[in-house]
Amino acid sequence: MAVNTKVEADQNAPAVTRILAEFVATHPSKGWSDAVEHEAHRTFLNWLGCAVGASQHEAVQAALRAVQVLEPATQAMIAGRQERVDIANAALINGISSHLFDFDDTHLKTIIHPAGPVCSAVLALAELSGASGRQLIDAVVLGIDVACRIGNTIYPHHYDRGWHITGSTGSLGAAAACARLLGLDTDKTTMALGIAASQPVGLREQFGTMTKPFHPGGAARAGLMSALLAREGFTASPRAIEAPRGFAQVVSTKFDWNEITDELGQRFEISFNAYKPFACGIVIHPSIDACVQLRGQGVTADNLVRLDLRVHSLVLELTGKKEPADGLQGKFSVYHGCAAGLIFGRASEEEYDDAIVNREDVVATRRKVVAIVDDTIDEAAVEATATLKDGKSVHIRVDHAIGSLQRPMTDEDLMAKFTAMSVPVLGAKKTRSLIQQCWSLSDAGDVRALVAQAS
Amino acid sequence: MAVNTKVEADQNAPAVTRILAEFVATHPSKGWSDAVEHEAHRTFLNWLGCAVGASQHEAVQAALRAVQVLEPATQAMIAGRQERVDIANAALINGISSHLFDFDDTHLKTIIHPAGPVCSAVLALAELSGASGRQLIDAVVLGIDVACRIGNTIYPHHYDRGWHITGSTGSLGAAAACARLLGLDTDKTTMALGIAASQPVGLREQFGTMTKPFHPGGAARAGLMSALLAREGFTASPRAIEAPRGFAQVVSTKFDWNEITDELGQRFEISFNAYKPFACGIVIHPSIDACVQLRGQGVTADNLVRLDLRVHSLVLELTGKKEPADGLQGKFSVYHGCAAGLIFGRASEEEYDDAIVNREDVVATRRKVVAIVDDTIDEAAVEATATLKDGKSVHIRVDHAIGSLQRPMTDEDLMAKFTAMSVPVLGAKKTRSLIQQCWSLSDAGDVRALVAQAS
């Protein structure tokens, strides 16, 4: 039995539940910069691509079979699939698929993957009501702001304690987004946040299992239902987030309320959202990026003799697997990531297929990689030196990998990522149409036009 | 910002997720004493009566309207109502109604109300599959054992931290019960518990709002879906309860694993379940009990001059409201509770109606009550002295109130409680039939016979 550690309650927290609710209910439509507006479209596009890409995965199929026991109404689409289910279960399943490949967005300040809970919930609701793209984008920006500001308030202690912060803050973000889409007033939005506050979803212990991607799905479902309950007059504590026995103080030992109130309505957390270029843990991204760049400079699996990496200690701690046996293990191998970057010029989900991880040239290439820890190297950086058969060497230093806030994925990068995931599922024509409709989403009179192309 | 308090992780916890799963999957049907078997029937009866009794409450109606947005299939009954919904939402709504009056069962060691999550989930599932009463009772006993043993492991620290322990352990109890009813093996039951572990529901901050009874409902729904997901091959950590970043260590700073493993399969926690005789916080029960006894000895509102109570300090701390304005406030008034006991001989939900709380004779009677704190009086006790118009006085000492483990509600008490709640909703005939079917539930070939009488 561990020692009890009583945490002193903060009795004087500002009324952040109500402050957030008023913000969500009353902030003007498109009340932000063009840059924020564009980032919302990028976030939505990236989310949808990930959901389509993983839509045939066995975890999605298992979840769908479980949901079908309920004989759900055919209200809403499941990205990349023909089946339709009720909006709550569509939120659940799309939330699962969008996070399955570990390839979704990341709010780097909190490592929340905010689109999963928020977009999955609000798109299902928007489809049912025939909401406009404008309403959808407004709800996405505001819902993500709520989830990430609450995340900023309790991070890192909350995460350190063992919560998967994507699902625990995601219920609140999804509730906020759905309350906005439903047009709830401040009082009812306060209740929606209150109901959602009682439903944090997610433990870090689940990493490596299907329950990890369940977390954003469960949060999406919980948030959506919280908003529907609030609309019907269901009540909750109006101080459910900040009270001594409310969400923040129960799930964290740090609660920095300023993170919720500072520049609310001026600074939007979606601005700090990033998108993964590689379908693996973010700590390997600089090394893969370096290998993609070496490939661009003529380094190949054939002419390479040896690749020396100088990396931050976390890289080997988390991803030091030398001989991964399958795709999942490959995600924890900087060696495989480098081989993929050198041979394929990328490391998307395909490069984590079991067959690829065990392909002869891939195995031979990863065995040429020698990684050593260098304490002078930052977590976001890598030094890579390729020694070639002709005796020459090529050196690359990456300070910020592609996909970081300093070197964000371009719109073209995001489209290429989307295309790679979507074409095998939906075909080229629908994929092109979907991409176009994502970029012009805020102008769409009815989101159902886009939805019709997504399955 | 509060200070961070790092809790040392317990790396060496026994594999309690799997231990509990194996117990749930393999313990023999009716593998317990007749006393345990009878207690299971009492628990089910009491749960059903509470759910029927609160079935017309506005919280149930609001929840039902929200659920109807999903156009649910008509798979399962809602106690006391004509509408039918899918099994997940039936679990939700019956869980809400069963806890709404604060009149349900209490596992006194942990103040868990275990039937709400467990019975609500498993009855819906049993109705859909046409399970036998034997299967249902087995699942109830085992599900309640799982919830309460996990509760014992983390109580009181978990509750002190702000969790509503009924909903947080309820997801696990409901998952266990549903896994048993589905006949899942040890591996899949482990996964069901794992999936449920990521979904604790409930904050104490919600007390006094509709979200409090939402907690057992949300837990019932989560547990039911966790079992269905596990059946379909959905995976979770097999150490989701005990790992350093698993349920117990994330939501509590105390984790006494022996509470799970000691006498598992020999001692059944349902044996320690108690049933409320009065529809209010348990701290007033001795005072109301004393007043009911005084009434039995001829004390009336008319002949009473003054009622002196010597009570534990918690009574006035929690329920010291002298002039309650409505029924909800009446629940926090020992004065109203005493008036109800003296005038009506009971304090069921009816006696907490707004009109009763404001009725002239009730107000006059509560004003005759003088309560003082006496540090020699135990929390479970009271000393009451009635001074009458003829100058005589009547003294009562209650050491253990009716409804405690020392003075349990008799089967007749439970039937009277059930009848008072059910007759206004279902009528006398269905009520009698339901009571009879509850007592013989373990012999029922198909639970749908009982279900047909419950709505």
Please tell me if residue B11 touches chain A, with a CB cutoff of 8 Å: no
Q: Which residues neighbour B359 within 8 Å (Cβ) at sequence distance 6 or greater? A: none
**What is the distance between the alpha carbons of residues B338 and B285, in angstroms, rounded to a whole number?**
9
Of A5, A208, A203, the closest CA to residue B242 belongs to A203
Query: How many domains is chain A partitioned into structurally?
Result: 2
Asked if residue B94 belongs to a domain, the reply is yes
Q: Which residues of B touch A228 (CB under 8 A)?
A: 66, 69
Q: Reading across the β-sheet that carries A382-388, which strands appear in turn?
A: A369-373, A304-311, A382-388, A393-398
Please state whether beta strands A84-85 and A76-77 pair in parallel, antiparallel, or not at all (unpaired): antiparallel
Is residue A3 predicted with pLDDT exceeding 70?
Answer: no
**What is the distance between the alpha carbons of residues B185 and A207, in angstroms, rounded to a whole number?**
23
Contact status, residue A250 vs residue A85, Cβ threshold 8 Å: no
Contact status, residue A317 vs residue A409, Cβ threshold 8 Å: no
CA distance to partner chain A, nearest, from residue B415 (Å)? 31
Contact status, residue B367 vs residue B342, Cβ threshold 8 Å: no
Is residue A6 predicted with pLDDT exceeding 50?
Answer: no
Contact status, residue A201 vs residue A80, Cβ threshold 8 Å: no
CA distance to partner chain A, nearest, from residue B229 (Å)? 5
Kindly determine whether residue B71 and residue A73, on different chains, have CB atoms separated by under 8 Å. Answer: yes
Contact status, residue A232 vs residue B62, Cβ threshold 8 Å: yes
Asked if residue A3 belongs to a domain, the reply is no
Return the amino acid letter for A111: I
Q: Which residues of B touch A211 (CB under 8 A)?
A: 194-195, 198, 234-237, 240
Last residue of a domain, one of B383, B398, B413: B398
Is residue A345 predicted with pLDDT exceeding 60?
Answer: yes
Neighbours of A405 (CB within 10 A): 14
Contact status, residue A57 vs residue A97, Cβ threshold 8 Å: yes
pLDDT score, position B8: 67
Kindly determine whether residue A162 and residue B244, on different chains, have CB atoms separated by under 8 Å. Answer: yes
Among positive and negative, which fits the CA dihedral B166, B167, B173, B178? positive
**What is the distance between the alpha carbons of residues A337 and A339, in angstroms, rounded to a whole number?**
6
Kindly determine whether residue A253 and residue B4, on different chains, have CB atoms separated by under 8 Å. Answer: yes
Q: What are B382's strand-pairing partners?
A: B398
pLDDT score, position B310: 97
Residue B72 tokens, joined: 């649910």
pLDDT score, position A2: 32
Q: What are A398's strand-pairing partners?
A: A382
Q: What is the CATH number of the domain that holds A433?
A: 1.10.4100.10
Please state whether beta strands B105-107 and B273-275 pair in parallel, antiparallel, or not at all (unpaired): antiparallel
**What is the distance between the alpha carbons of residues B153 and B134, in angstroms, rounded to a whole number?**
29
Kindly determine whether residue B209 and residue A229, on different chains, have CB atoms separated by under 8 Å. Answer: no
Return the amino acid letter for A360: E
Q: Give residue-wise pLDDT tens across range A276-301.
A: 999 988 889 999 999 999 999 999 99
Q: Give residue-wise pLDDT tens across range A88-117.
A: 999 999 999 999 998 999 999 999 999 999
Same domain, B246 and B292: no
**How many CA atoms lie less than 13 Å away from B275 in the CB half-sphere?**
29
Same domain, A255 and A291: no
Q: Give residue-wise pLDDT tens across range A421-442.
A: 999 999 999 999 999 999 999 9
Please, what is the Cα angle at A192 between A59 and B97, to 5 degrees?
A: 85
Q: Which residues neighbour A331 within 8 Å (Cβ) at sequence distance 6 or greater? A: A102, A279, A280, A281, A319, A352
Interface test with B, best of A153, A188, A245, A256 (most B CBs within 10 A): A245
Band of residue A8 on the pLDDT scale cut at 50, 70, 90 = low
**CA nearest A85 in B: which residue?**
B70
Q: What is the CATH number of the domain that holds B354?
A: 3.30.1330.120
Same domain, B259 and B290: no
Asked if residue B208 belongs to a domain, the reply is yes
Kindly determine whether residue B8 and residue A1, on different chains, have CB atoms separated by under 8 Å. Answer: no
**What is the distance between the alpha carbons of residues A287 and A301, in angstroms, rounded to a whole number?**
16
Same domain, B362 and B221: no
Kindly determine whether residue B235 and residue A209, on different chains, have CB atoms separated by under 8 Å. Answer: yes
Residue B200 tokens, joined: 């604790």
Partner-chain residue, chosen from A66, A228, A255, that has the shortest CB–CB distance to B2 = A255
Question: How large is the ipTM?
Answer: 0.94
Q: Which residues neighbour A264 within 8 Å (Cβ) at sequence distance 6 or greater? A: A19, A20, A23, A149
Q: Give residue-wise pLDDT tens across range A204-251.
A: 999 889 999 999 999 999 999 999 999 999 999 999 999 999 999 999
Average pLDDT over residues A318-329: 90
- Please report where in the chains the tokens 């005493």 appear, as a residue: B338
Please tell me if residue A14 touches chain B, with a CB cutoff of 8 Å: no
Residue B255 tokens, joined: 């984790």
- DSSP conformation letters of B241-287: TTSTTSHHHHH-S---THHHHTTBTTB-GGGGEEE-SSSS-GGGHHH
**What is the distance between the alpha carbons of residues B96 and A299, in angstroms, rounded to a whole number?**
64
Query: How much helix, strand and coil, in percent to the nearest 5, is found in chain B?
Result: 55, 10, 35
CA distance to partner chain A, nearest, from residue B263 (Å)? 19
Instruction: Round the average pLDDT of chain A to a whole number and report it.
Output: 95
Same domain, B258 and B301: no
Domain span at residue B339 reads 282-398
- DSSP conformation letters of B335-390: HHHHHHHHHHS---GGGGSHHHHT-HHHHHHHTTEEEEE-TTS-TT-EEEEEEETT
* DSSP designation for A272: G
Is residue A29 predicted with pLDDT exceeding 80?
Answer: yes
More confident residue, A2 or B404: B404
Average pLDDT over residues A170-178: 99
Distances (CA, A) of A227 to A25, A64, A179, A185: 12, 23, 5, 11
pLDDT score, position A439: 98
Contact status, residue B199 vs residue B229, Cβ threshold 8 Å: no
Same domain, A305 and A442: no
**What is the distance between the alpha carbons of residues B332 and B315, in angstroms, rounded to a whole number?**
9
Q: Which residues neighbour B61 within 8 Å (Cβ) at sequence distance 6 or greater? A: none
pLDDT score, position B332: 86
Kindly determine whether residue B225 and residue A66, on different chains, have CB atoms separated by under 8 Å. Answer: yes
Same domain, A266 and A293: no
Q: Which residues of A touch B211 (CB under 8 A)?
A: 194-195, 198, 234-237, 240
Please tell me if residue A68 touches chain B, with a CB cutoff of 8 Å: no
Same domain, B365 and B234: no
Of B251, B246, B312, the closest CA to residue B285 belongs to B312
Residue A419 tokens, joined: 């295309």
Same domain, B370 and B435: no
Last residue of a domain, one of A379, A398, A417: A398
Neighbours of B188 (CB within 10 A): 22
Q: Which residues of A touch B70 (CB under 8 A)?
A: 72-73, 75, 86-88
Which value, to the nearest 10 degrees, does the dihedral of the CA atoms of residues A34, A39, A41, A45 take?
A: 160
Average pLDDT over residues A192-212: 96
Is residue A418 predicted with pLDDT exceeding 50?
Answer: yes
Of A221, A201, A220, the closest CA to residue A211 belongs to A201
Kindly determine whether residue B59 and residue A87, on different chains, have CB atoms separated by under 8 Å. Answer: no
Asked if residue A409 belongs to a domain, the reply is no
Asked if residue B268 belongs to a domain, the reply is yes
Q: Which residues of B touch A160 (CB under 8 A)?
A: 6
Asked if residue A53 belongs to a domain, the reply is yes
Asked if residue B6 belongs to a domain, the reply is no
**What is the distance between the alpha carbons of residues A287 and A309, in angstroms, rounded to a whole number?**
8
Same domain, A348 and A437: no
**What is the distance between the alpha carbons of residues B223 and B116, in angstroms, rounded to a whole number?**
12
Kindly determine whether residue A235 and residue B86, on different chains, have CB atoms separated by under 8 Å. Answer: no
Among positive and negative, which fits the CA dihedral B274, B280, B286, B291? negative
Q: Residue B306: phi, psi to the nearest 5?
A: -160, 140
Residues of chain B with pLDDT below 50 are: 1-6
**What is the distance between the alpha carbons of residues A131 and A210, in angstroms, rounded to a whole number?**
32
Same domain, B255 and B180: yes
Asked if residue B412 belongs to a domain, the reply is no
Partner-chain residue, chosen from A3, A246, A255, that has the shortest CB–CB distance to B203 = A246
To the nearest 10 degrees (0 to 180), the angle between helices A165-182 and A186-197 is 160
**How many CA atoms lie less than 13 Å away from A128 in the CB half-sphere?**
26
Same domain, B265 and B296: no
**What is the distance between the alpha carbons of residues A371 and A382, in angstroms, rounded to a whole number?**
10
